[in-house]
A and B are shown apart, each in its own frame.
Chain A
Amino acid sequence: MAKIDLIVRRAKLDGKEVDIFVSKGKIVEVKKSAETIDAGDAKVEEAFGLTVMASMTDVHVHLREPGFEYKEDVESGLRAAAWGGFSNILCMANTKPVNDDDSVTKLMLEQARKFWPKGPRLFPIGALTKGLKGEELAPMAELAEAGCAAFSNDGVPVKSTELFRRAMEYASDWDKVVIDHCEDPYMGVAAGVNEGVVSSRLGLPAQPDMAEALQVARDVLLAEYLELPIHLAHISCRKSLDLIRFAKERGVKVTAETAPHYLVLTEDYLENEATEYDTNAKVNPPLRTLDDQNAMLEGLNDGTIDCLATDHAPHAAHEKETEFDVAPCGITGLDTALSVTWQLVKDGKLKKEAFTRAWTTAPCEIFKLPVNTFQPGDPADFFLFDEAEEWTVEPQALHSKGKNTPLLGTTLKGRVKTHFIQGKKIV
């Protein structure tokens, strides 16, 4: 047997107290806690009273570097990820310059290695088209070689279905999945508010849910026709869910994610007296209705929605503290995602299995990333979590530079106390 170099003692895993034995960054054995052990030379981490969970993967993050380091940079984004319980992060290409050239990919990876050499692991997502302009294909072979894990046009949907089809085909040559931000390019584009009762009352330009669903329909039809996989980013409404379910029943290789904010907030937030026109709730796709919120939970629980992803979109305070029409879309999520979604498990709204699948196994399977399921040989990626610790979402409590979340001021439960990636303590 391999020489054990780390033992985590008396951690709670699925309700049982266990000892975890790690060697060379991999799980060797997880077994019921013993009264005493002979640790030998191994480091011992006492975890009594803490819960251990497999590190999570976030396939949709904006790290803003290069170009917008005042909002976030690789260092601060990965810090938020480390403390948020994430070992794998996929970051979007809408930087400046856009990640459509391997020098940009290499810069991102260099920064990650420099500041967080032991992880969290960073996997850049390459641009699908040059400059995200939707006109010409990006050099995907070069980008894949430099380390891009997937391709996406991010928040700028490709208007031409013909070009999008060719992009999916070309990406498949490099064995990469295309991620699509589903939004009709002409309907209430990036309005940040759902079209309905609230938008009509507040007098805000708004985006109907079908602006998303229309593009979902296009994408699943293309995926079926081309027999290629497609991953749908941040699904927010029931209409999309119905289409994805229909496609999956037909055997289409479609996978989808939703974000924690769609599970706990609705458009009504913008009409509450205290939070009327709160730009921190301006997000694309927008917060929808209670029925849509329930649909997202149903979809996660029955597996129609494969993954959770934060769509972590940090902005500077002065960019959000402005008129609603002027403010950029986006909510930060790396710091709060675990507490928010674990609470849903505690409340019985989200099944434990769905939580684990959506944050660990499903995203890693789709994007071929290392994942820990606590089986021998798995990477020793896990964190110790104090489920009972309450914390208030205040700017200084967030590790991300972006403090733009409508959860500011609320109290959440559960905090990461320490995080191991490949058996190395990162925080």
Chain B
Amino acid sequence: MKWLHKDLLDVSQLSKSEVMSIFETAGRFQELQERPVKKVPTLKGRSVILFFAEPSTRTKTSFDVAGKRLSADTFSLAKSSSSLTKGETLKDTALTLQAMAPDAIVIRHWCSGAARFLANRLDCAIINAGDGRHAHPTQALLDSFTLHQEWGDLAGKTILILGDIAHSRVARSNVILLNKLGAKVRLCAPRTLLPHGVKHWPVKVYSDLNEASKGVDAVMCLRLQLERQKDGLLPDLREYSRTFGLGQRHIDLANPDVKIMHPGPMNRGVEIASDLADCADSLVLDQVSSGVVTRMALLFLYMTRKGEE
């Protein structure tokens, strides 16, 4: 198939059938992961720059592994080593990267819209690996792919996203994608951690986690940034974990086969009870392995779109 998009900025750009193509491609790479030799020459000679202006270990490693398994050359530019700390503007960094002629740039940045900023200026593919509070499309795709592997179709399933929605790019992208795939989305958070415009979103909002948990098919916990207390959004972590931390009592109210997810890194005992993260219904590690194959699929689709039929 011919891939139409130059960049992946958010899941809102993708049609449902394009999402299905991504899943199908990821599924093929999944089989590959079960072989002793996991590397294929698909992107040999192509280069990917991993430009992480915000610290990240998992996402960056996941992209790095994905690129290398496809035989692409991956280069890292992290905040600590980058000229960003020397006061270079994002524009100049972007143009410098462009001059190195990569086939794709994976960007993680603390500002919403930073991926769009690069995409508007550079010719290579831009893959958004998280921009500010705005979007984290590859996370949303790997989350839905994980559920897709479990269930097949997501249509009609009810998924609860729990935690700091206001500051979460993961939540924003997941709300869009899950709706696109026909799932029903619930959000649960204190009002202080919900965006003001949430009333316009295609979701059902709960402030009571017990109510929110009733009959759900999956729960996605979000990481709570510990500085929210200082921002005046929460009294303290103890109260938060007592009222909005996911525990066994909530799982008992959910669908018996409920799946538990977390994009990581987890604050065990804050947003999720420690034993739940490790239980049989937890998909946390499946998300990690889905992450690699989803990102392989994305690198493949976005980096081979020119001229190769």
Interface residues of A (CB under 8 A from B): 195-204, 206, 208, 276-277, 318, 321-326
Contacts and interface: CB of A to CB of B under 8 A. Distances in A.
B111 A325 contact: yes
Given A196-B196, A199-B196, A318 B89 contact: yes
Most B Cβ at <10 Å: residue of A318, A323, A324, A325: A323
A204 B195 CA distance: 10
Contacts of A204: 112-113, 132-134
B233 interface: no
Contact of B117 (A202, A208, A277): A277
Contact of B198 (A200, A208, A276): A200
Contacts of B79: none
B196 A324 contact: no
Contact of A323 (B90, B133, B196): B90
Interface string B31-48: 000000000000000000
B172 A203 contact: yes
B195 A200 contact: yes
A201 B202 CA distance: 12
21 contacts: A195-B196, A199-B196, A200-B196, A200-B201, A201-B172, A202-B113, A203-B132, A203-B133, A203-B169, A204-B133, A206-B196, A277-B113, A277-B116, A322-B117, A323-B90, A323-B109, A323-B111, A323-B113, A324-B112, A325-B112, A326-B111
B242 interface: no
A237 B172 CA distance: 28
Contacts of B89: 318, 321-322
Contacts of A208: 196
Contacts of B172: 201, 203
B249 interface: no
Nearest to B135: A203
B230 interface: no
Contacts of A206: 196
Interface in B98-136: 109-114, 116-117, 131-135
Contacts of B110: 325
Contact of B113 (A196, A200, A324): A324
B197 interface: yes
A367 B196 CA distance: 39
Interface in B18-38: none
B91 A321 contact: yes
Interface residues of B, number: 24
A237 to B, nearest CB: 15
Given A196-B197, A277-B117, A325-B132, A202 B112 contact: yes
Nearest to A318: B89
B122 to A, nearest CB: 14
Contacts of A201: 172, 197
Given A203-B131, A277-B117, A323-B114, 10 more contacts: A195-B197, A200-B196, A201-B197, A202-B134, A203-B172, A208-B196, A276-B116, A323-B113, A324-B112, A325-B132
Contacts of A324: 111-113
A198 B117 CA distance: 18
A276 B133 CA distance: 15
Nearest to B165: A200
A276 B197 contact: no
Interface in B243-288: none
A322 B91 contact: yes
B86 interface: no
Contacts of A203: 112, 131-135, 169, 172
Nearest to B119: A276
A200 B134 CA distance: 9
Contacts of A200: 195-198, 200-201
A326 B53 CA distance: 14
A200 B193 CA distance: 12
Contacts of A199: 195-197
Interface string B72-99: 0000000000000000011100000000
Contacts of B113: 202, 204, 276-277, 323-324
A243 to B, nearest CB: 21
The 5 A-B residue pairs whose C-beta atoms are closest, nearest first, are A200-B197, A203-B133, A277-B113, A203-B134, A323-B111
B196 A318 contact: no
Interface string B153-168: 0000000000000000
A369 to B, nearest CB: 41
A17 B108 CA distance: 63
A325 B132 CA distance: 9
Contacts of A318: 89, 91
A106 to B, nearest CB: 35
A204 B132 CA distance: 8
A199 B194 CA distance: 12
A385 B218 CA distance: 66
B112 A277 contact: yes
Contacts of B116: 276-277
Most A Cβ at <10 Å: residue of B112, B116, B133, B195: B112
Contacts of B114: 323
Interface string B170-198: 00100000000000000000000001111
Contacts of B197: 195-201
Nearest to A201: B197
A404 to B, nearest CB: 15
Nearest to B232: A186
A204 B111 CA distance: 8
A170 to B, nearest CB: 34
Contacts of B131: 203
